[in-house]
Amino acid sequence: MSALILGWALLAAQIMLGLAMALAVWRIARGPRAQDRVLGLDTLYVNAMLMMVTFGIRTGSTLYFEAALVMGLLGFTATVALAKFLMRGEVIE
């Protein structure tokens, strides 16, 4: 009974997170300017990280937790580097 409740709740959460990722991808494709695309990429990273956490709840393994941590780190670095590029035209000066 409790496994059924949790299973359906996780399925609903994963569908909602998938929709959120699709909307972020739509913003990346649509633009209209470079900063909108970077914002969409950051949202996509955060939503994918949360999706990994829901997979981790479902399976109960810590492997997904580590994947989520790495995705958070990489997303932060990517967004900062892209913002720096938009500001100065170079990442490392």
Nearest distance from residue 77's CB to other proteins, in Å? 9
Candidate list 33, 74, 91, 93; residue touching other proteins; CB under 8 A: 33
Q: Does 16 bind other proteins (CB under 8 A)?
A: yes
**CA-CA distance, 76 to 55, in Å (whole number)?**
21
69 binds other proteins (CB under 8 A): yes
Helix (H) or strand (E) holding 82: helix 63-88
Q: Which of 27, 91, 92, 93 binds other proteins (CB under 8 A)?
A: 27
> CB-based contacts of 18: which residues, under 8 Å, 6+ apart?
51
